[in-house]
């Protein structure tokens, strides 16, 4: 079998053109000489203003050696089909009986779920702890809060509960991590088995959407339980129990219950601030790391589609258009897009009372009228104004509280139009773009809730970005504060080979909260490493 990549075709091509182009490139007389073929990957290619569809095709021919020698390099690329199976599964040993001390997994985000899934399939019967609620009740709590029909719940919100923070996101499943073991493909195959759309295995930039993710995470959890694992919701991890040598001997839960164990997979998200503080007090090694802070930017999705796709804007074969950018300022700062959500919503994502946090979310259809993205500026530990590994948390918390105050309380978000932001004046009323953020927005001045260096970097970046992403600087576009949770503010240091804490034997810090991942797939991959 051969892998034929870079098969570029017009947006309106017919289905017969895919095998015909492959056959032509391989020197065959017609597509009938292909013994078999299938599309492995499909991408929208909008580079240089020429929109096309780009395919990776798997094809079988009678004489592969000849085809590889003679294929037309001007049409595509051809190579032997690589083995992309997750090889480590073949060497897994399944226990006949659960161990006397069952492993404990803290957190049910993608890292915790996939660590627990592998442990369960090996017969380890993990105990999984989640401070929040199951996906269904959690979704009702969150949507009720957004609508103003329910109070903010610090234990059941966008950050805490089944599926982690990724449950209320765009559900992006692409990653730039090195994945020689092919874990990412296996993860997506497991997601499809759990109810994710099959097209995530085909698209170059796959996403599930919040509406589908809720079902997927619930079914993965149910499989863990069916294999002997125990998943406990509303159960907050309090601290580690350590033996005389400083190794893990168990965990203590909020309320005092103790669970004996000799291994803990710490798979919390980047908002588990109380957990980080308690572990630091117990002597677990950790260090501050850079983070980012900024805003959510909203534009009409139709304008982004026209900029990216030109005459093909709105064509169902392309879907809604994404974008990605980075602007490097003269002072060394970088402004960049984060978690871009085509046809999405800006959502209230606080995890603490009195703090304002924004994030972006899309359903599978990506059918909302606005596009949004995090518009972020990098922050170094030297900017935190404090010492120690927890200084980044206090930096985040300070600006989240400033954002809450600038919005007038009630988790209303401060908003400023791009035109007013560039002119240095407060916004009094919105123009043609209405924000999707709920509970609602309060026009104002983002200088009240962002550091000066962030304001300056964003202000310089907007006209520069507009040169390549036309319409980005439209005066009525919205900047909504504040976005602070793009990554963990610290890293819990671990041994690169064993993934075990360098200070606390038996503790396996993993995923986004521990500082080793950034997104659904990279977090799930890291969970598999330690599972």
Q: What is the pLDDT of residue 176?
A: 81
What secondary structure does DSSP assign to 38-104, as a single string?
A: EEEEEEEE-GGG--EEEEEEEEE-S-HHHHHHH--TTT-EEEEPP--S-GGGGGPPPPSS--SS--E
Domain with CATH 3.50.50.60 in the chain: 92-284+492-530
At 417-440, the pLDDT tens digits run 999 999 999 999 999 999 999 999
At 182-232, the pLDDT tens digits run 999 999 999 999 999 999 999 999 999 999 999 999 999 999 999 999 999
Query: pTM to 2 decimals?
Result: 0.94
At 442-486, the pLDDT tens digits run 999 999 999 999 999 999 999 999 999 999 999 999 999 999 999
Q: What is the pLDDT of residue 414?
A: 99
Question: How sure is the predictor about 492, in pLDDT bands with cuts at 50, 70 and 90?
Answer: very high
Residue range 2-80 forms a domain whose CATH class is: alpha beta
Q: What is the pLDDT of residue 91?
A: 64
Percent pLDDT > 90 in the chain is 92
Q: What is the average pLDDT across 284-295?
A: 98
Question: How sure is the predictor about 94, in pLDDT bands with cuts at 50, 70 and 90?
Answer: confident
Q: What is the pLDDT of residue 518?
A: 93
Q: Give residue for tokens 């599964």.
A: 89
Q: What is the average pLDDT across 10-29?
A: 95
At 278-287, the pLDDT tens digits run 999 999 999 9
In 61-201, the DSSP E strands lie at 77-80, 104-106, 127-130
Question: How sure is the predictor about 92, in pLDDT bands with cuts at 50, 70 and 90?
Answer: confident
Using DSSP's 3-state secondary structure scheme, residue 150 falls into coil
Q: Quote the CA–CA distance of 404 and 7 in Å, as a whole number.
A: 50
Domain with CATH 3.30.70.2700 in the chain: 2-80
Using DSSP's 3-state secondary structure scheme, residue 326 falls into strand
Reply yes or no on whether the pLDDT at 93 is more than 80: no
Q: β-strand 413-417 against 441-443: which pairing, if any?
A: parallel
Q: Quote the CA–CA distance of 390 and 280 in Å, as a whole number.
A: 8
Q: What is the pLDDT of residue 88?
A: 72
Reply yes or no on whether the pLDDT at 87 is more than 90: no
Q: What is the average pLDDT across 342-368?
A: 97
Q: What is the average pLDDT across 362-374?
A: 97
CATH number for 92-284+492-530 (one of 1.20.1050.10, 3.30.420.40, 1.20.1640.10, 3.50.50.60): it is 3.50.50.60
Exposed, middle or buried by CB within 10 Å (0-12, 13-18, 19+), for 466?
middle
Using DSSP's 3-state secondary structure scheme, residue 379 falls into strand
> How high is the mean pLDDT of the chain?
96
- Lowest mean per-residue pLDDT among 46-50, 324-328, 370-374: 46-50
- Evaluate whether 462 touches 472 at the Cβ level (below 8 Å): yes
Question: How sure is the predictor about 85, in pLDDT bands with cuts at 50, 70 and 90?
Answer: confident
Q: What is the pLDDT of residue 90?
A: 61
Exposed, middle or buried by CB within 10 Å (0-12, 13-18, 19+), for 137?
middle
């Amino acid at each position: 079998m051969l892998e034929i990549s870079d098969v570029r075709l017009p947006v309106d091509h017919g289905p017969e053109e895919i095998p015909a182009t492959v056959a032509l490139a391989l020197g065959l007389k017609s597509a009938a000489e292909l013994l078999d073929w299938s599309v492995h990957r499909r991408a929208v290619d909008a580079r240089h203003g020429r929109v096309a569809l780009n395919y990776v095709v798997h094809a079988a021919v009678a004489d592969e050696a000849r085809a590889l020698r003679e294929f037309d390099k001007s049409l595509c690329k051809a190579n032997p089909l690589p083995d992309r199976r997750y090889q480590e599964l073949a060497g897994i040993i399944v226990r006949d009986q659960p161990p006397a001390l069952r492993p404990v997994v803290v957190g049910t985000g993608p890292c915790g779920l996939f660590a627990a899934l592998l442990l369960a399939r090996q017969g380890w019967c993990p105990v999984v702890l989640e401070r929040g609620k199951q996906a269904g009740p959690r979704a009702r709590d969150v949507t009720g809060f957004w609508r103003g029909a329910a109070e903010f719940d610090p234990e059941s919100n966008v950050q805490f509960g089944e599926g982690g923070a990724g449950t209320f996101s765009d559900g992006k499943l692409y990653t730039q991590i090195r994945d020689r073991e092919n874990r990412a493909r296996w993860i997506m195959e497991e997601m499809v088995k759990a109810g994710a759309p099959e097209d995530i295995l085909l698209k170059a930039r796959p996403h599930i959407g919040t509406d589908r993710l809720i079902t997927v995470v619930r079914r993965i959890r149910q499989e863990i339980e069916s294999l002997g694992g125990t998943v406990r919701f509303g159960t907050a991890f309090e601290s580690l129990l350590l033996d005389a040598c400083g190794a893990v001997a168990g965990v203590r839960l909020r309320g005092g219950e103790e669970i004996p164990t000799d291994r803990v997979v710490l798979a919390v998200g980047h908002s588990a601030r109380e957990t980080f503080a308690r572990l630091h007090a117990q002597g677990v090694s950790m260090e501050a790391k850079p983070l980012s802070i900024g805003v959510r930017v909203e534009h009409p999705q139709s304008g982004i589609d026209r900029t990216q796709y030109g005459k093909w804007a709105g064509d169902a074969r392309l879907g809604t258009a994404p974008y990605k950018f980075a602007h490097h300022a003269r002072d060394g700062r970088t402004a960049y897009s984060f978690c871009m959500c085509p046809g999405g919503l800006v959502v209230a994502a606080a995890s603490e009372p009195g703090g304002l946090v924004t994030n972006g979310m899309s359903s599978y259809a990506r059918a909302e009228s606005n596009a949004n993205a995090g518009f972020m500026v990098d922050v170094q530990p030297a900017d935190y104004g404090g010492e120690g590994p927890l200084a980044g948390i206090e930096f985040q918390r300070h600006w989240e509280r400033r954002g809450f105050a600038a919005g007038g309380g009630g988790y209303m978000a401060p908003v400023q139009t791009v035109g007013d932001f560039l002119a240095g004046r407060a916004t009094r009323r919105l123009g043609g773009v209405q924000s999707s953020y709920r509970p609602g927005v309060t026009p104002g001045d983002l200088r009240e809730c962002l550091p000066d260096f962030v304001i300056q970097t964003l202000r310089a970046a907007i006209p520069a970005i507009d040169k390549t992403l036309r319409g980005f600087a439209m005066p009525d576009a919205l900047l909504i504060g504040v976005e602070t949770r793009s990554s963990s503010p610290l890293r819990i240091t671990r041994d690169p080979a064993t993934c075990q804490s360098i200070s606390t034997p038996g503790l396996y810090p993993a995923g986004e909260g521990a500082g080793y991942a950034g997104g659904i797939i990279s977090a799930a991959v890291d969970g598999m490493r330690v599972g």
